[in-house]
Amino acid sequence: MNFTKMHGCANDYIYVDCTKETVQNPGPLAVRLSDRRTGIGGDGMILIKPSERGDFFMEMYNADGSLGKMCGNGIRCVGKYVYDHRLTDKTELTIDTPAGLRYLTLHVEDGVTKSVTVNMGHPSMRPADLPVLVDGGEITYPVNSAGRELIFTPVSMGNPHAVILVNETKDFPVQEVGEPIEKNPLFPEGVNVEFVKVISKEEISMRVWERGSGETWACGTGACASAYACYVRGLTGPSVTVHLLGGDLFIRYDEKEDVIYMTGPAVTVFEGTVETD
């Protein structure tokens, strides 16, 4: 199987062009290939497929083999892949995902995609949209983990997020606190957990425990959810730079459209072939 290793802010995935390749048993294959010692290494695997509703379809598998609904860093790399590999000459793309259609604008220099802006769609705090088993109508809710009493803001970006404000992200025990929340019965389908420090009205820092992958160096939907949670709590303005372990993302909430725009890099690391049997 031919593959391309790509990353957005060090959130790295294995990309397969399924307009040319046929992938059998993608869940178990994602587990094997994501292993950083015995596989290619990555936070998961993304298949690029034809679509009747959009220009292409993005099918994402986490490192544990579970099927994901949406990946902000991953979808930027999908845009870069299809343009740089000449599957399209369009710089305005519609990508179909299990979370719905997403709209991309590619920023191209000398025929190569350098960064991508994504219309990430409407954020939602409705408990049923995550889902989370709480009564609706509130901005924050309590949750306990690792002996800590915490407050989270629920945000759906097509996938579920629990955004938690902390005093400092640098030394925060992300796995110790994040893993039990991911598996908390409050979240029947699991949840991505963001730990966020507000730096100013225009800047936040974030670390993330991703459902199905563990701590990753970046999460695009998580950055969107965190920016929105800080905005609705009155802590930041509608536009913020989100500092992640793997780099920065620029997030803008359009109040009139009620949609979030994300801009960030997309990088090709290497290409190769791998035995899949």
Share of the chain above pLDDT 70, in %: 100
pLDDT given for residue 124 in this prediction: 97
Provide the 3-class DSSP secondary structure of residue 166: coil
Condensed to tens digits (0 to 9), the pLDDT of residues 10-22 reads 999 999 999 999 9
Q: How do the residues of the chain divide into helix, strand and coil, expressed in percent and rounded to 5? A: 15, 45, 40
Q: For the CA atoms of 249, 187, 67, 212, what is the dihedral angle to 10 degrees?
A: 70
Give the residue numbers annotated as catalytic, written as ranges: 71, 219
Looking at the predicted structure, is the pLDDT value of residue 265 above 90? Answer: yes
- φ, ψ dihedrals at 42, nearest 5°: 170, 175
Looking at the predicted structure, is the pLDDT value of residue 167 above 80? Answer: yes
Looking at the predicted structure, is the pLDDT value of residue 162 above 80? Answer: yes
- Give 124's DSSP letter: B
Residue 187's pLDDT band, with cuts at 50, 70 and 90, is very high
CB atoms within 10 A of CB 80: 27
Condensed to tens digits (0 to 9), the pLDDT of residues 231-259 reads 999 999 999 999 999 999 999 999 999 99
pLDDT given for residue 155 in this prediction: 98
Mean of the per-residue pLDDT values for the chain? 97
Look at the block and give the residue holding tokens 């991505």.
192
| Rounded distance between C-alpha atoms, residue 188 and residue 243, angstroms | 29
Looking at the predicted structure, is the pLDDT value of residue 212 above 80? Answer: yes
- Dihedral sign for Cα 31, 32, 35, 40, please: negative
Give me the domains of the chain, ranges plus CATH numbers.
Answer: 2-121+264-273 (3.10.310.10), 127-257 (3.10.310.10)
Which of 72, 27, 30, 74 minimizes the C-alpha distance to 48?
74
103 or 277, which is more confident? Answer: 103
| Rounded distance between C-alpha atoms, residue 78 and residue 57, angstroms | 9
- Give 35's DSSP letter: -
pLDDT given for residue 277 in this prediction: 77
- Stretch 55-79: mean pLDDT: 97
Share of the chain above pLDDT 90, in %: 99
Residue 206's pLDDT band, with cuts at 50, 70 and 90, is very high
pLDDT given for residue 136 in this prediction: 85
Residue 211's pLDDT band, with cuts at 50, 70 and 90, is very high
